[in-house]
Chain A
Amino acid sequence: MAQRATLPMLLALATVALGFAILLAVQQETSPPLIYGGAYAGMMIGVYGFVRLWLPRSDALLIPVVTLLTGTGLIMIYRLTYGVEGVEDLAISQVIWILTGSVFLLLTIVFLRDYHRLMQYKYLLALLAIGLIMLTFTPFGYEVNGARLWVQIGPVNFQPSEFARIGLIIFFAAYLAEKRDLMAATSRTVLGVQIPSPKYFGPVLVVWAASLGLLVFEKDLGSSLLFFAVPLLMLYVATGRAAYVGIGSVLFAIGCVISYHLFAHVRVRVAAWLDPWADPDLMGFQILQSLFNIADGGIVGTGLGEGFSQTIPEVHTDFIFSAIAAELGLLGASAILLTFLIFVYRGMKIALLSGDDFSKLLAGGLTVMFALQTLVIIGGVTKAIPLTGITLPFVSYGGSSVVGNFILTGLLLVISEKAGRRLAGEEVR
Chain B
Amino acid sequence: MNTQLRLLFYTFTAMFVALIGVLAYWQVYARESLANNPHNGLQTQREVQVPRGLITASDGTVLARSVPSGENSYDRVYPEGAVYAPVVGYWSTRYGATGIEIGMNTELSGRGEPATLDELINQLSGRPQGGNNVELTLDPELQRLAYERLAASATGRGSAVAIDPQTGEILALVSHPSYDPNNIDETFPELQRAENSPLLNRATQGLYIPGSVFKVITAAAALEAGVSPSRSFVDTGSYTAGGFRVTNYGGASYGAQDFAHALALSINTIFAQIAVEEVGAQALAQKALEFGFGDGYEDFVLPVAPSTLGEPPSEWDAALLASNGFGQGTVQTNTFEMALVAATIANGGTMMQPQLVNEVRSQDGIILDRATPQTRNRVMPSEQARQLTSMMELVMTEGTAQSGQLPGVEIAGKTGTAETGSGPPHSWFIAFAPADDPTIAVAVLVENGGDGESAALPIARDMIRTHLEDRNEDQG
A positions within 8 Å CB-CB of B: 26, 233, 236-238, 240, 277, 280-281, 288, 291-306, 308, 311, 325, 329-330, 333-334, 337-338, 340-341, 344-345, 348, 351-352, 357, 360-361, 364, 368, 371, 375, 378-379, 382-384
Contact of A351 among B5, B24, B46 (CB under 8 A): B5
Residues of chain A contacted by B6 (CB below 8 angstroms): 348, 352
| A359 CA to B125 CA, complexed, in Å | 47
Residues of chain B contacted by A294 (CB below 8 angstroms): 23, 26-27
Whole-angstrom distance from the CB of B159 to the nearest CB of chain A? 32
Contact of A299 among B13, B19, B28 (CB under 8 A): B28
Chain A residue at smallest Cβ distance from B40 = A292
| A32 CA to B1 CA, complexed, in Å | 48
Residues of chain B contacted by A296 (CB below 8 angstroms): 34-35, 42
Give 8 new A-B contacts, CB below 8 A, not counting A325-B27, A330-B24. A240-B3, A280-B39, A292-B35, A292-B40, A295-B30, A303-B126, A341-B16, A348-B8
| A293 CA to B34 CA, complexed, in Å | 9
Whole-angstrom distance from the CB of B412 to the nearest CB of chain A? 48
**Is A334 in contact with B125, judged by CB distance below 8 angstroms?**
no
**Is A298 in contact with B31, judged by CB distance below 8 angstroms?**
yes
Residues of chain A contacted by B1 (CB below 8 angstroms): 237-238, 240, 357, 360-361, 364
Contact of B4 among A240, A297, A340 (CB under 8 A): A240
Residues of chain A contacted by B5 (CB below 8 angstroms): 237, 348, 351-352, 360, 364
**Is A378 in contact with B19, judged by CB distance below 8 angstroms?**
yes
Residues of chain A contacted by B41 (CB below 8 angstroms): 292, 311
**Is B9 in contact with A344, judged by CB distance below 8 angstroms?**
yes
| A88 CA to B1 CA, complexed, in Å | 48
Residues of chain B contacted by A325 (CB below 8 angstroms): 23, 26-27
Main secondary structure of the interface of A (DSSP, over half): helix
B45 near A: Cβ within 8 Å? yes
Chain B, interface size category, equals 35 or more
**Is B9 in contact with A302, judged by CB distance below 8 angstroms?**
no
Residues of chain A contacted by B8 (CB below 8 angstroms): 233, 237, 348, 364, 368
| A357 CA to B37 CA, complexed, in Å | 54
**Is A340 in contact with B3, judged by CB distance below 8 angstroms?**
no
**Is A295 in contact with B16, judged by CB distance below 8 angstroms?**
no
**Is A293 in contact with B23, judged by CB distance below 8 angstroms?**
no
Whole-angstrom distance from the CB of B125 to the nearest CB of chain A? 7
B positions within 8 Å CB-CB of A: 1-6, 8-9, 12-13, 15-16, 18-20, 22-24, 26-28, 30-31, 34-35, 37, 39-42, 45-46, 123-127
20 contacts between A and B (CB under 8 A): A237-B5, A293-B42, A294-B26, A295-B31, A296-B34, A296-B35, A296-B42, A298-B27, A298-B28, A325-B27, A333-B23, A334-B20, A337-B19, A337-B20, A341-B13, A344-B12, A348-B8, A360-B5, A375-B15, A384-B18
Q: A240-B1, A311-B41, A341-B13 are in contact. Are A291 and B26 (CB under 8 A)?
A: yes
Whole-angstrom distance from the CB of B11 to the nearest CB of chain A? 9
Most-contacted residue by chain A among B1, B41, B125 (CB, 10 A): B1
Whole-angstrom distance from the CB of B36 to the nearest CB of chain A? 10
Q: A351-B5, A378-B19 are in contact. Are A305 and B26 (CB under 8 A)?
A: no
Residues of chain B contacted by A338 (CB below 8 angstroms): 16
| A198 CA to B46 CA, complexed, in Å | 62
| A371 CA to B19 CA, complexed, in Å | 13
Residues of chain B contacted by A300 (CB below 8 angstroms): 123-124
Residues of chain B contacted by A345 (CB below 8 angstroms): 9, 13
Residues of chain B contacted by A333 (CB below 8 angstroms): 20, 23, 27
